Amino acid sequence: MQSNIAVRFYCGDTDYSGIIKNLSENGMFISTKQMSFPFDPVIEIFIPLKEKLLRVPVKVCRMTKSKDVFDGIGVQLLDDHKDYLELVCCLRDNRFPF
């Protein structure tokens, strides 16, 4: 499902920001400005909502590259994250919790 949600995540000592462009019950695709290596395969995505900050543990499954810059990641949820699944349902029903 298409979306446009701002997120943050950390890889090593680097703080990244990105935009969730697509999400599902199993994972999401996040567009970023530029990624650097080395890159940890397991990270937490921070999704700000109105009343809370979702911390979603994920595994990086793929990276996208435009020209010479890595600018996106596809991630898979590591477990059934109740609050994340609720977010997906809200977006599907056109209810926006952020």
Per-residue pLDDT, 11? 80
Q: What superfamily in CATH does domain 2-92 come from?
A: predicted glycosyltransferase like domains (2.40.10.220)
CA distance 18 to 21: 9
CA 42 to chain CA mean position, Å: 12
The rounded radius of gyration (Å) of the Cα atoms in the chain is 13
Query: pLDDT tens digits, the chain, 98 residues: what are they?
Result: 788 899 999 887 788 999 999 999 999 999 998 777 667 789 999 999 888 899 999 999 998 888 888 889 999 999 888 999 999 998 888 876 66
Beta bridge partners, 59, equal 42, 76
